[in-house]
Structure 1
Amino acid sequence: MNDTPGWVPPGSASSEGQGAQAPGPAQPADQAGPGAKWSSEQPPAGQWSAPSVPGPRGGGQVPPPGPGWGGNPHGGWGRPAAAKPGVIPLRPLGVGEILDGAVSTLRAHWRTVLGITLTVSVIAEIGNILVARHLLPEPVEIDPAADPDEALRQAVDALQSMLVSLVPIMLIALLATLFTTALLTVVISRSVLGRPVTLSEAWREARPRLPQLLALTFLVPLAAVGLVGLGILPGVLVGGAGGAALIVVGAIAAVPVAVWLVILFALAPPALMLEGQNVVGALRRSAKLVSGSWWRTFGIVLLTTVLTTIVQMIIATPFGVAAVFVDNDGLGDLFSAEGPNFGWPYLIVTGIGAVIASAITFPISAGVNVLLYIDQRIRREALDLELGRAAGLPGYTTEPPGGAPGSG
């Protein structure tokens, strides 16, 4: 059974059930044995060169590929010169090209993208404001003069209060991520092919995949949190100074495993949306694509997180400062012993800053994730040929003898 479809439009059925007459997509690297990049059944060297494409006068060949693209070391066939029907060139991408593709998608489809992100961000921020105003518990007071045992108890209570406060905020963030991921994945997949998409079209294509994406969105973070929880559980049960030491040791051991798991499954959402995979299939596909490129994937995800965090801070900081001055009561209590007690003006002004920051950073994060997925498939499965055919580009419409590269 083939679990590597070529390019399935979001919302369509999985290609696992394609008939024998359907265009043969590139096969996954793992089907050719451990560590293989392509199927072992490749055309003999020299039997397939770059396909011809009509020139201005009806003839001519595709220009020779750039450096590093003269031929495939696993097969002997060549690729067409990298075309760029949309926001990325159809070849393996560098980190800068992935980031540029995400920003280019925002520029090229700004009405659709901002329509999605602004709507989701406003609803999410309203939820955060209501939670902060009505549901969050009062902060635990810490007595600086308390004895060591009492200070430890207060610290544990403060940690529990903080975790309780984070639960509703994290739920809202996950739901916001769900809708932006689903809709923006459709937009970005179209932008790669240079095709426009409206908000209604994105919603229509993404809606059938939302239940499975919802399960996937919650599954991976819960698994990571569960791993960290298991790591610190012995220290929590022991308690006291020894328990605190065990918590630190457990966290040091569990957090790297949780990070490894999150990166391993980082490409599952686009796999689910673009391949018609189920939840388990999407997790398996992500693990296969990330395998052997974990550190590269981790570096790109980390860089994107740092950049989007900096952008959020740059945008949110002026709003935070303005909110302090707008909220007169909060400003008067800023240096009081009880601390600031900000009200509705503060929450509303900071909420506006958060909406603007999210509307800009959501597309970048989602774009990098989808383009990283596409890049990995180009590197491992020659998805650039499938994308070129899907875009109707000259020179990509003819498959090499024996089918698409990697088929066997």
Structure 2
Amino acid sequence: MNDTPGWSSPGSAPSDGQEPGASGPADAAGRPGPAQPTDQPGEQPQTPGVKWSKEQPPPGQWSAPTGTPAPGRTPSPPPPAPGWGQAGYGAPGGYGGYGGPGGHGAWGAGWGGLPPAAKPGVIPLRPLGLGEILDGAVTTMRTHWRTVLGISLVVAVLVQTIVTLVQHFAFDDATNQVLNDPNATFREVSRAMGNLLLGSGVAFIVQIVGIIVATGLLATVTSRATLGKPVTIGEAWRDARPQLLKLFGLVFLLLLISVGIVAVGVLPGIIVAATGSPLGGVALAFLGGVAAFVPAVWLWIRFCLAPPALMLEKQSITKAMSRSGKLVRGSWWRLFGIQLLTVLITFMLSVVVALPFAMIALVSSGDGMADFINGTPELSWTYLVITGIGSVIGLAITFPILANVTVLLYIDQRIRREGLDLELARAAGVPSHGSGATTPGS
């Protein structure tokens, strides 16, 4: 047990004297003699030092002897009832004296925990839980809705315009005719399916690019929101503009890595299909794509904090990726779970928003519901424009949530590893923050 003042084990002896009844007086050689009986009538023990009672109080309830206090001394107060709700660990000056006089560190409120962390903005300045991260993302969007929705709406319009053009050329009339022709050859069907998969893949990549760009542009807004400070679109643009070229370079590099990994997995199947075995090639390409998807996701989560590191720390592309790897190390599964849950939530939200527009588009284009029931909806410009409007609204809502969650995860990891909450508290003007320390590296 540590000898530091304030540390003692419950029920330990109040002095270092002899244990009662352990031995008698020592002999000439210094060896303890036999125990002297003390229960004979009419005899009182004459041993010097501390006199011990036969019946000791139970552990954890030691108290000063009762009776008349010595001259000049104040009688000790009676011990409180045993429990955990006192200022300290059961009693004043108890196990380590937490919060009590002479305690180790004087933690304040006792075993009930540290005082609440300061919350100058959308999050408390301490390590965050899942609910606090999601709440902080939504609160940022609600508090600074003009700036957040303004930025996300611009990104959503650009993304959806590209997606609409890709859909128009990928899902053309020739593709629909081949897919609905029972006499079409396997090669024609494979080519049509390839066009559909290519169009869907390009649309997916464009949306990923939109998420990364929105994360970079909204990083300033979210970081200011943690301090309770407003930021306008102009301020956010001026802060992000010097890093925009690096941000697009980061986007390109991340996509190149991910697409390259998936391409390596799919390439053997494509080669087999081109050499005369289409069915086996398609099966091999599918299995290779699934196998390559795992390392692609692992790398994506490893570098998911690179955009906020690039924008907020003004890092280079490679240093931002290295920074993200260091922050994610040891917390990969936690970040993966939070990101996956956020994607599922935003996906359901976007479906709810876009579904009414899709129904209106089906009714307004071609034979409407008849084509939908037959499995051949007509992708006319009317259909694409109406569904595109619904998608823009959905993206304008979901982009900020995804971006804010990523930025808050970056801030949370720095709080856990580097004590960023102390720096944020100083920036927010909270001088008393940090008395209950956040241990870097936890």
Does TM, scored on the shorter chain, surpass 0.5?
A: yes
Structure 2 letter corresponding to 1:139: T
Partner of 1:99: 134
1:215 aligned residue (237, 246, 249):
249
Unaligned segments of structure 2, at least 5 residues:
1-98, 100-105
Q: Give per-residue Cα distances to partners, 1:84-135, cap 9 Å, x unaligned.
A: 0100001111111100000000111011111112222233333433443467
- Cα deviation for residue 264 of structure 1 reads 0.8
Q: Which residue number in structure 1 is paired with residue 143 of structure 2?
A: 108
| Higher helix content, 1 or 2 | 1
Taking the aligned partners of 2:337 and 2:266, their CA distance within structure 1 comes to 27
Letter matched to residue 251 of structure 1 = G
CA displacement, residues 37-79 of structure 1 (integer Å, 9 cap, x when unaligned) = xxxxxxxxxxxx9xxxxxxxxxxx996599665xxxxxxxxxx
Kept after mapping to 1: 8 A contact 2:170/2:196: no
Q: Which moved more, 1:224-233 or 1:238-247?
A: 238-247
Report the alpha carbon displacement of residue 81 of structure 1 after superposing the two structures with TM.
4.9
How far apart, CA to CA, are the structure 2 residues paired with 1:118 and 1:292? Answer: 35
**Which position in structure 2 is the counterpart of 1:235?**
269
Q: Does 1:195 align with 2:229?
A: yes
Distance 1:252 1:350, change over 3 A: closer
Distance 1:252 1:349 in 2: 34
Q: 1:86 aligns with which of 121, 131, 134?
A: 121
For 1:384 and 1:65, the matched residues in 2 are separated by: 23
> CA–CA distance in 2 between the matches of 1:195 and 1:315?
31
Which deviations, in whole Å up to 9, do the C-alpha atoms of 1:130-175 show, x marking residues without a partner? 443467654261477569xx53x34532342124424653564355
Percent same amino acid among aligned pairs? 49
RCO higher in structure (CA 8 A, sep ≥6): 1
For residues 317 and 340 of structure 1, the distance between their equivalents in structure 2, rounded to whole angstroms, comes to 15
Gaps of 5+ in 1: 1-48, 50-60, 70-79
Gap change, CA 1:354 and 1:245, over 3 Å in 2: closer
Whichever residue aligns with residue 400 of structure 2, its letter is P
- The aligned counterpart of 1:14 is none
- Counterpart of 1:383? 420
**For residues 377 and 215 of structure 1, what CA distance do their matches in structure 2 show?**
24
The letter for the 1-side match of 2:325 is: A
How far apart, in 1, do the equivalents of 2:288 and 2:169 lie? 34
Distance 1:142 1:406 in 2: 58
The number of aligned residues is 332
Is the radius of gyration larger for structure 1 or structure 2?
Answer: 2
Matched, 1:139 2:175: yes
- Per the normalisation by structure 2, the TM-score is 0.67
Shift of 1:356: 1.2
Confirm whether residue 360 of structure 1 aligns to residue 397 of structure 2.
Answer: yes
Confirm or deny that 1:251 pairs with 2:285: no
Judging changes above 3 Å, is the alpha-carbon distance between structure 1 residues 66 and 327 closer, same or farther for their aligned structure 2 residues?
farther
- Kept after mapping to 2: 8 A contact 1:330/1:343: no
| TM, length-normalised to structure 1 | 0.73
- Distance in 1, matches of 2:157 and 2:287, equals 40
Q: Deviations over 1:195-249 (max 9, x none)?
A: 0000000000001111111011122122112111101212221232443443243
**Separation of aligned partners in 1, 2:425 and 2:216:** 23
Provide the residue aligned with 1:292 in structure 2. 330
Q: CA deviation at 1:300?
A: 0.5
